[in-house]
Chain A
Amino acid sequence: MLWEVDVISKEASGDHAARAVVAGAADLGIAGCTQARTAAGWLIEGDLTAADVERLAATVLADPVTESFTAAAVDAASPPSGPAGLPTIVRVLPRPGVTDPAAETAKDAFTLVGLKPVAVRSVRKYWLPALPEADAKRLAWSLLASEAIHDVVVGPLPLRTLAGGKPWTFTQETIPLDGLDDEALARLSREKCLALTVRELHAVRDHFRSLGRPPFEIELETIAQTWSEHCCHKTLASAVDHEGPAGAARFDNLLKETVFAATRKVREALGPRDWCVSVFRDNSGVVRFDGDHDICVKVETHNHPSAIEPYGGAATGLGGVIRDVLGTGLGAKPIANLDVFCVAPPDTPAADLPPGVIPPRRLLAGVVAGVRDYGNRMGIPTIAGAVAYDPGYLGNPLVFCGTVGIMPRDTADAAVQPGDLVVVAGGRTGRDGIHGATFSSIELSSASESQSGGSVQIGHAIHEKTLTDFVLEASRQKLFSAITDCGAGGLSSAVGEMGATLGAEVRLETVPLKYAGLSATEVWISEAQERMVLAVPPAKWKQLAAVAAAEGVEATAIGTFTGTGRLVLMWEGRVAGELDCHFLHEGRPKQRLPSRFTRPAAAPAAWQPAADRDLAACLLDVLALPDVASKEWIVRQYDHEVQGKSVVKPLLGPGEGPADGTVVRGVLGRPRGIVLGVGLRHRLGRIDPYQMAAAGIVEAIANVVAAGADPDRIALLDNFCWGDTRRPESLGTLVEACLACHDMAIAFAAPFVSGKDSLNNVFAWTDAAGVQREISIPPTLLATAMGQVDDVRRVLSPDLKAAGNRLAVVGLTRDDLAGSQLELTGRAQGGRVPEVDAASCRAVIHAIAAAQRAGLVQACHDVSDGGLAAAVAEMAIGGRLGATLDLAAAPVEFSPAIDPAHRDLVTAFAETPGRFICEVRADDAAAFEQAVAGVPWAWVGAVTAEPDVAIGSAGRLERIAVAQLDAAWRRMSHQEHSGGHG
């Protein structure tokens, strides 16, 4: 029998969801929806009496102080009446098969009171005023439900059972490739979502022809997963013929000869002082930390799933990168997260949205909530991040999630041994995310939302938390010889990679399922979340199983790593598929791709007339721009202090200003710390991809150095997000960025240790006039820097400390306004493109570090978006103090063409990479002057007790109250905070 329980807040004022519905309905122009009530609803099926269900509701589901409940059979003749005056009932419930963490928890909890329902589903229930059904549906689909994962029911519930599927019976589907022409092969790839090229299908066809049989479906799927862009970087690892501004270049493997090569050169130059441990090999990059520990770091993207279901996509993106760290070496403990989002401007008019695209404000609220609910539950502080805005991200928002881990020293090397058991641990397997790996390699279109629903995964953070507790304890007891996460491609990728040389035999029918009915192929490629695969010596299996049981984690031996070099997939004693590991991992035909880049001619600078109090007006405008504005509304939703190790947090000082690099201790009670910073100069992407990448890398490095990181111990990560790199001119921009990565890593002796790419971020649709249109993202490199400090008690923050201290600018300012925030205010357009002068940037960074080490710096801020003016304003906001900034004093190098009338404006707002502002005590001034003597620098002002910022050049200072700067900087955060949907 199917029962429904509604749990309702006793006080209407406690019903936040109802307030959000009323506000949302008004936004949508739905008349008459002036009040609402909501309930947490539960569908409970089982052999239960009304008294049983009442008992479940009273003991498990409702709070006796704040909530009331009703319980009734779904087919009751007279269902409980809803709130007066609200006759329209809307239910939003997860589609069958979609992960429903609350229902799983409730079902387990019911057994505590001795009752065992067969199935539970959570429902969100809304009572609304009388509305046309079409309006109720529109309201539900716009505000309350996501097409990818939900069903919406308006009116009576048609459901009478939650029963799942029936067990699958073994059938062997073959996919003949012989005799198919290229067009038919391309169609096959598209229809089966394989994302294989015709050339790759030729290789598959030839391989199976040599075996004398056609491939089985499960074999073709395994090959498609293994050869996907997501799993093997096939574009970046391709041979490339490039023609660029620096001439022609020929690569046999682009990634190896640029990014990897730079790391190799840096390590060779370090010789015995090399502090890299494991780079570009494991699930994350590993470097030395202290005498007992190594640390590791990884940043992943989860762009396509987040475009379709922002909450689930972002949550599982974070879940995935956490598992990358957990699956590094013999397991690392995750200790910090970061997240970076690239989205379209929040005020994008609804009329400009292509069909199928989620409005940017709703999308950002969704991804933030996803990271919040997953990261907070995992107990990992989210301490670093950024949000970047550009109309190019409308159809393809970017969601980057990163995790840092710590592991006992010398556990980075793990090797599967022949005879080890294949053990899957954690969540059960369902149809979640089938085709995620190949889906993330296919471009999105307006039809994606309906086509690709099965690709969306929903996270269950507590499964991942218990899995983490289990893995770390099993690692401590040395109970496994290797581990990897089950991410894109599911078991097929995880077992395939771990058994890439040894081979494995897997009994697919033994994999624990969420519900019956999955075929062998679905079990094998499902991307159900929160699973890890371990290689366990048979002698240790019993102890490992005991640790799993103690932590409440399901662990199942599903096969053996054999040593035969063959991947054998079994179903109840029959062979479901068999692949040669060498062909699977080495058989992909390499491609040689043409690549071109011509630097667009720089647009000459153009100026709009100055307003009254020009600098003040521009500064207030810049501080309120989305890229610069406070991200407090996001930061405060994340637990950035759990684990107790956060030392420099995202918001700092009495005025809660912004941080540059953020710092966590590696181990509680010990002084050594890890510094995280990110750099993203997406606004340069379309102008000069080399400089975009170079400036982003410098920004990431400057962030961590500003906080006190040792400039000789900075590890870098690359995340390339690009448009359609099958086009030579688009691939050309990617090659330019790779070259920048190579050059910067060497110039700063900062090796890349890990990276990831997400290509084909192009959104195509046919507009109302029948015209085929597309939007491509700007070429975007996210650079992440992971630095280290010997002693966290010596770190620095940007907030001003004391009136009377002096302010110095270190580093040259040029008239490079192209791509700056000032451009977005409309005051200036075009002009020179910022160019990184790596040698002088490096000298500046070392001078800053030397001054910090000598204890000469009270506050330090790197200069990026919004230039010197925004940087000083941020320092004043954080410190609740005033400052003067004499622009004429700052060291500059301007083109002769710059009109003297524009000099102050340019000095204030240029975003020349590689500059810092330092606060120095008068007593330390002489020593500071010596420390920075070898690089361009100048005293530019002082910290003042009067709470205003005075900016300009001698005799022409404009004063702005810090409170006014603060209000401009926080305006967007306040709006998003009050307007977003929790």
Chain B
Amino acid sequence: MLAPRALILRAPGTNCDHETAHAFERAGGLARRVHVRALVEKPTLMDDCQILCVPGGFSYGDDIASGRIFALELRLRLGDALRAFRDRGGLILGICNGFQVLLQTGLLLADPATGAARAALAHNTSGRFIDRWVHLRAPAGPCVFLKGIDTLELPVAHGEGRFVARSAADLAALDAAGQLALRYAPDASNASTNPNGAQADVAGACDETGRVFGLMPHPERFVDATQHPAWVGRLDPAASGAGLAIFANAIRSC
């Protein structure tokens, strides 16, 4: 059987595409980086792919708001192609800027009646960009990317990652459906590691099927033990990092 293929969709300002491709390859897939201009010209580039990933970065500079322009471009120019990809069982993963993009395209957490966004990623409570490691837990739910994962550590690096639901009712409904799939958790000394003030400690969320998933932390930055900030003298440098399981789950679910 051929290895599953991941299309890593980049835009001007995307900057985590190489390591994300590397992570899919480490997990046994084949990865191809494609510029959004090329995909707009030729949407059939998605045809032989089973996974679509929107990686991290600052698409179009994020000068207006994170992911805004990239999401608008996808909605207006590739909306049908992306829905068709999802409806034929394709997996969609958005990491950091990719999560911000997916929420604004209507592919993730949209109101089924109106298509309006039911959640957004706002500026961190601190008002600042932050790069740090966080503890995470994945409550049982439909998300195929998190299958078999209970807890893990990953780095975050963002200025706009505070999960905000449109209303308390939306938050409760998404929670009940198991769509608030990844949460910031306390560290060993029981201190919160929520880095941005997210509601309900939401770090990642999926659609009803669990096959479209977005998260603020960067799993591609922990596919190798040597990427952990305390690995020297403590972790086996030949071991994998905990983030690799997310890519491996995707490859297995194709």
Residues of A within 8 A of B (CB): 9, 14, 16-17, 19-20, 40, 59-61, 63-66, 101-102, 105-106, 108-109, 112-113, 372, 376-379, 460-462, 465-466, 469, 550-552, 635-649, 651-654, 656, 668-669, 792-793, 795-797, 799, 801-802, 858-859, 982
Contacts and interface: CB of A to CB of B under 8 A. Distances in A.
A636 B220 CA distance: 19
Contacts of B22: 644, 668-669
Contacts of A641: 131, 155, 157, 218, 221, 227
A112 B22 CA distance: 32
Interface in B112-136: 116-120, 122-123, 127-132
A469 B11 CA distance: 11
Given A64-B117, A66-B164, A653-B229, A639 B157 contact: yes
Contacts of B226: 647, 792-793
B119 A465 contact: no
Contacts of A552: 12, 37
Interface in B182-241: 218, 220-221, 223, 226-227, 229-230, 232-234, 237-238
Contacts of A19: 127
B72 A799 contact: no
B60 A462 contact: yes
A461 B26 CA distance: 30
B129 A372 contact: yes
Given A462-B58, A669-B22, A112 B35 contact: no
B168 interface: no
Contacts of A460: 61
6 closest cross-chain pairs (CB), A and B: A379-B15, A16-B127, A644-B19, A793-B237, A65-B120, A102-B63
Contact of A649 (B57, B69, B123, B229): B229
A109 B60 contact: yes
B221 A799 contact: no
Contacts of A378: 15
Contacts of B72: 59-60, 109, 112-113
11 contacts: A16-B123, A60-B64, A61-B64, A63-B122, A65-B117, A377-B58, A377-B62, A551-B12, A642-B56, A648-B232, A651-B229
A377 B13 contact: yes
B81 interface: no
B76 interface: yes
Interface in B159-187: 164-166
A462 B13 contact: yes
Contacts of A61: 64
Contact of A652 (B37, B38, B63, B229): B229
Interface in B84-142: 104, 116-120, 122-123, 127-132
A659 B127 CA distance: 27
Contacts of B5: none
B221 to A, nearest CB: 5
| Main SS at interface, chain B | mixed
Contacts, number: 174
Interface residues of B, number: 59
B200 to A, nearest CB: 15
B116 A101 contact: no
A379 B57 contact: yes
A136 B186 CA distance: 44
Contacts of B233: 797, 799, 801-802, 858-859
B227 A639 contact: no
Contact of B230 (A63, A109, A652): A652
A641 B154 CA distance: 11
A644 B229 contact: no
B218 A65 contact: no
Contacts of A105: 60-61, 63-64, 69
Given A641-B227, A793-B237, A982 B128 contact: yes
Nearest to A665: B226
Nearest to B128: A982
A859 B73 CA distance: 50
Nearest to B20: A644
B119 A65 contact: yes
B117 to A, nearest CB: 5
A108 B73 CA distance: 11
Contacts of B218: 641
B7 interface: no
B63 A793 contact: no
Given A14-B122, A799-B233, 9 more contacts: A14-B123, A59-B72, A63-B122, A65-B119, A101-B63, A108-B69, A642-B157, A669-B26, A799-B230
Given A462-B13, A641-B155, A795-B232, A63 B227 contact: no
Given A105-B61, A552-B12, A638 B227 contact: no
B122 A66 contact: yes
Interface string B1-35: 00000000000110110110011001000000001
A112 B75 CA distance: 10
A465 B13 contact: yes
A654 B230 CA distance: 6
A652 B226 CA distance: 12
Nearest to B120: A65
A656 B229 contact: yes
B46 interface: no
